[in-house]
Protein backbone atom coordinates (compact mmCIF):
# COMPACT_ATOMS: atom_id res chain seq x y z
CA UNK A 1 0.00 0.00 0.00
CA UNK A 2 1.20 3.51 -0.79
CA UNK A 3 2.78 5.19 2.27
CA UNK A 4 0.54 8.24 1.93
CA UNK A 5 -2.58 6.03 1.88
CA UNK A 6 -1.41 4.58 5.21
CA UNK A 7 -0.65 8.06 6.52
CA UNK A 8 -4.17 9.19 5.61
CA UNK A 9 -5.60 6.40 7.81
CA UNK A 10 -3.62 7.70 10.80
CA UNK A 11 -4.63 11.25 9.83
CA UNK A 12 -8.32 10.30 9.63
CA UNK A 13 -8.28 8.86 13.17
CA UNK A 14 -6.60 12.01 14.51
CA UNK A 15 -8.85 14.42 12.60
CA UNK A 16 -11.94 12.53 13.74
CA UNK A 17 -10.78 12.87 17.35
CA UNK A 18 -9.91 16.55 16.90
CA UNK A 19 -13.32 17.23 15.38
CA UNK A 20 -15.04 15.36 18.23
CA UNK A 21 -13.25 17.65 20.69
CA UNK A 22 -14.73 20.79 19.11
CA UNK A 23 -18.25 22.05 19.90
CA UNK A 24 -19.20 21.02 16.35
CA UNK A 25 -18.45 17.41 17.28
CA UNK A 26 -21.66 17.09 19.32
CA UNK A 27 -23.55 15.90 16.23
CA UNK A 28 -20.99 13.17 15.52
CA UNK A 29 -20.84 12.13 19.17
CA UNK A 30 -24.54 11.17 19.02
CA UNK A 31 -23.51 7.90 17.35
CA UNK A 32 -21.81 6.89 20.62
CA UNK A 33 -24.62 7.97 22.97
CA UNK A 34 -26.37 4.62 23.35
CA UNK A 35 -23.14 2.61 23.84
CA UNK A 36 -21.26 5.31 25.79
CA UNK A 37 -23.72 7.57 27.65
CA UNK A 38 -20.87 9.74 28.94
CA UNK A 39 -20.46 11.20 25.43
CA UNK A 40 -23.75 13.06 25.88
CA UNK A 41 -21.79 15.58 27.97
CA UNK A 42 -19.24 18.05 26.66
CA UNK A 43 -16.64 16.51 28.99
CA UNK A 44 -17.34 13.06 27.56
CA UNK A 45 -17.02 14.39 24.02
CA UNK A 46 -13.62 15.98 24.68
CA UNK A 47 -12.36 12.82 26.39
CA UNK A 48 -13.61 10.62 23.54
CA UNK A 49 -11.96 12.97 21.03
CA UNK A 50 -8.70 12.86 22.99
CA UNK A 51 -8.79 9.06 22.99
CA UNK A 52 -8.94 9.03 19.19
CA UNK A 53 -6.21 11.69 18.97
CA UNK A 54 -3.88 9.75 21.28
CA UNK A 55 -4.68 6.50 19.48
CA UNK A 56 -3.80 8.13 16.15
CA UNK A 57 -0.59 9.52 17.67
CA UNK A 58 0.28 6.04 18.91
CA UNK A 59 -0.33 4.33 15.57
CA UNK A 60 1.61 6.93 13.57
CA UNK A 61 4.51 6.65 16.07
CA UNK A 62 4.43 2.85 15.74
CA UNK A 63 4.61 3.30 11.97
CA UNK A 64 7.69 5.51 12.27
CA UNK A 65 9.34 2.86 14.48
CA UNK A 66 8.50 0.28 11.80
CA UNK A 67 10.05 2.60 9.17
CA UNK A 68 13.15 3.07 11.35
CA UNK A 69 13.65 -0.71 11.48
CA UNK A 70 12.88 -1.19 7.78
CA UNK A 71 15.36 1.53 6.80
CA UNK A 72 18.08 -0.16 8.86
CA UNK A 73 17.47 -3.29 6.76
CA UNK A 74 18.29 -1.21 3.69
CA UNK A 75 14.75 -0.77 2.38
CA UNK A 76 13.28 2.51 1.13
CA UNK A 77 9.92 3.23 2.73
CA UNK A 78 9.18 6.89 2.08
CA UNK A 79 11.82 8.31 -0.21
CA UNK A 80 11.63 10.51 -3.24
CA UNK A 81 13.09 13.56 -4.85
CA UNK A 82 10.73 16.06 -3.25
CA UNK A 83 11.06 17.85 0.06
CA UNK A 84 8.69 15.25 1.56
CA UNK A 85 11.07 12.45 2.46
CA UNK A 86 11.14 10.24 5.55
CA UNK A 87 14.10 8.09 4.49
CA UNK A 88 16.55 11.00 4.75
CA UNK A 89 15.46 11.71 8.34
CA UNK A 90 14.26 8.45 9.92
CA UNK A 91 17.08 6.65 8.10
CA UNK A 92 19.71 9.21 9.14
CA UNK A 93 21.70 7.72 12.00
CA UNK A 94 22.77 11.19 13.15
CA UNK A 95 19.19 12.18 13.96
CA UNK A 96 16.99 9.10 14.22
CA UNK A 97 17.47 8.34 17.91
CA UNK A 98 17.07 10.51 20.97
CA UNK A 99 20.36 11.88 22.32
CA UNK A 100 19.75 10.76 25.93
CA UNK A 101 18.52 7.16 25.69
CA UNK A 102 19.62 6.44 22.11
CA UNK A 103 16.18 5.01 21.34
CA UNK A 104 14.31 5.48 18.04
CA UNK A 105 12.00 8.52 18.05
CA UNK A 106 9.10 6.28 17.00
CA UNK A 107 9.44 4.28 20.23
CA UNK A 108 9.58 7.50 22.27
CA UNK A 109 6.35 8.59 20.54
CA UNK A 110 4.69 5.25 21.29
CA UNK A 111 5.58 5.54 24.98
CA UNK A 112 4.41 9.19 25.14
CA UNK A 113 1.04 8.54 23.51
CA UNK A 114 0.52 5.38 25.60
CA UNK A 115 1.02 7.51 28.73
CA UNK A 116 -1.37 10.18 27.44
CA UNK A 117 -3.95 7.55 26.57
CA UNK A 118 -3.66 6.11 30.09
CA UNK A 119 -4.36 9.57 31.54
CA UNK A 120 -7.38 10.03 29.24
CA UNK A 121 -8.91 6.59 29.89
CA UNK A 122 -8.40 6.93 33.65
CA UNK A 123 -10.03 10.37 33.66
CA UNK A 124 -12.90 9.10 31.51
CA UNK A 125 -13.51 6.11 33.80
CA UNK A 126 -13.50 8.09 37.05
CA UNK A 127 -14.06 11.76 36.18
CA UNK A 128 -15.04 12.68 39.73
CA UNK A 129 -11.98 11.11 41.36
CA UNK A 130 -9.84 13.31 43.59
CA UNK A 131 -6.86 12.38 41.38
CA UNK A 132 -8.50 13.72 38.21
CA UNK A 133 -6.82 17.16 38.38
CA UNK A 134 -3.48 15.37 38.85
CA UNK A 135 -4.00 13.37 35.66
CA UNK A 136 -5.20 16.42 33.70
CA UNK A 137 -2.09 18.33 34.81
CA UNK A 138 0.00 15.24 34.03
CA UNK A 139 -1.34 15.15 30.46
CA UNK A 140 -0.88 18.87 30.09
CA UNK A 141 2.69 18.68 31.43
CA UNK A 142 3.60 15.73 29.20
CA UNK A 143 2.32 17.43 26.05
CA UNK A 144 4.06 20.71 26.97
CA UNK A 145 7.27 18.72 27.56
CA UNK A 146 6.84 17.37 24.03
CA UNK A 147 7.17 20.88 22.55
CA UNK A 148 10.97 21.26 22.94
CA UNK A 149 11.38 17.73 21.58
CA UNK A 150 9.29 18.71 18.54
CA UNK A 151 11.43 21.88 18.16
CA UNK A 152 14.57 19.71 18.16
CA UNK A 153 13.14 17.39 15.51
CA UNK A 154 11.97 20.31 13.36
CA UNK A 155 15.51 21.74 13.60
CA UNK A 156 16.78 18.44 12.10
CA UNK A 157 14.26 18.81 9.27
CA UNK A 158 15.44 22.37 8.60
CA UNK A 159 19.08 21.25 8.71
CA UNK A 160 18.46 18.49 6.17
CA UNK A 161 16.00 20.55 4.09
CA UNK A 162 13.48 17.71 4.28
CA UNK A 163 10.05 17.18 5.80
CA UNK A 164 9.08 13.80 7.21
CA UNK A 165 5.27 13.63 6.80
CA UNK A 166 4.80 10.82 9.33
CA UNK A 167 6.88 12.63 11.97
CA UNK A 168 5.03 15.89 11.29
CA UNK A 169 1.66 14.19 11.83
CA UNK A 170 2.93 12.85 15.18
CA UNK A 171 4.11 16.38 16.15
CA UNK A 172 0.76 17.94 15.22
CA UNK A 173 -1.01 15.22 17.21
CA UNK A 174 0.97 16.20 20.30
CA UNK A 175 -0.16 19.80 19.85
CA UNK A 176 -3.80 18.72 19.41
CA UNK A 177 -3.51 16.60 22.57
CA UNK A 178 -2.07 19.63 24.40
CA UNK A 179 -5.11 21.68 23.35
CA UNK A 180 -7.40 18.83 24.45
CA UNK A 181 -5.81 18.62 27.90
CA UNK A 182 -5.98 22.42 28.17
CA UNK A 183 -9.73 22.31 27.40
CA UNK A 184 -10.12 19.65 30.11
CA UNK A 185 -8.09 21.78 32.55
CA UNK A 186 -10.26 24.85 31.94
CA UNK A 187 -13.41 22.74 32.14
CA UNK A 188 -12.35 21.21 35.45
CA UNK A 189 -11.66 24.65 36.85
CA UNK A 190 -15.18 25.76 35.90
CA UNK A 191 -18.61 24.33 36.64
CA UNK A 192 -18.77 22.68 33.19
CA UNK A 193 -16.95 19.53 34.35
CA UNK A 194 -20.09 18.25 36.06
CA UNK A 195 -22.86 20.79 35.44
CA UNK A 196 -25.14 18.90 37.86
CA UNK A 197 -22.65 19.60 40.66
CA UNK A 198 -21.09 22.90 41.56
CA UNK A 199 -17.29 22.79 41.69
CA UNK A 200 -17.30 23.48 45.45
CA UNK A 201 -19.50 20.45 46.13
CA UNK A 202 -17.26 17.92 44.30
CA UNK A 203 -15.39 15.44 46.48
Query: Considering the complex, what minimum distance in angstroms separates the CB of residue 76 from another protein?
Result: 7
Q: Across the chain, how many H-helices and E-strands are there? A: 7, 0
Contact (CB, 8 A) for 191 and 199: yes
Residue number, 75 or 151, with CB nearest to another protein:
75
Binding span for another protein by CB under 8 A among 3-11, 26-34, 37-45, 122-130:
122-130
Closer CB to another protein, residue 126 or residue 189? 126
| Region 145-164 residues binding another protein, contact defined as CB under 8 A | none
Contact call for residue 117 and another protein (CB under 8 A): yes
For 20, residues 6+ apart whose C-beta sits below 8 A from its C-beta are: 28, 29, 45, 46, 48, 49, 52
- Pick the binder of another protein from 29, 39, 59, 174 (CB under 8 A): 59
Query: Which one among 8, 33, 126, 155 touches another protein, defined by CB under 8 A?
Result: 126
Q: Are 113 and 61 in contact (CB under 8 A)?
A: yes
What's the burial of 54, exposed, middle or buried (CB within 10 Å: 0-12/13-18/19+)? buried
**Shortest spacing between CB 21 and another protein, in angstroms:** 19
Residue 3's CB is within 10 A of a number of other CB atoms, namely 17
| Residues making contact with another protein (CB under 8 A) | 55, 58-59, 62, 65-66, 68-70, 72-76, 92-93, 110-111, 114-115, 117-118, 121-122, 125-126, 129-131
Amino acid sequence: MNEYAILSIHGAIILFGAFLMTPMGSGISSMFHSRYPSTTTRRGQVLAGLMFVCLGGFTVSAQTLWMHNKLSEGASVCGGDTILNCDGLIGNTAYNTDPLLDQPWGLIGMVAFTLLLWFVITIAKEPMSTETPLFIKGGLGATVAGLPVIALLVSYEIKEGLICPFCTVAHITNVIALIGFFILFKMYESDNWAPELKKSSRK
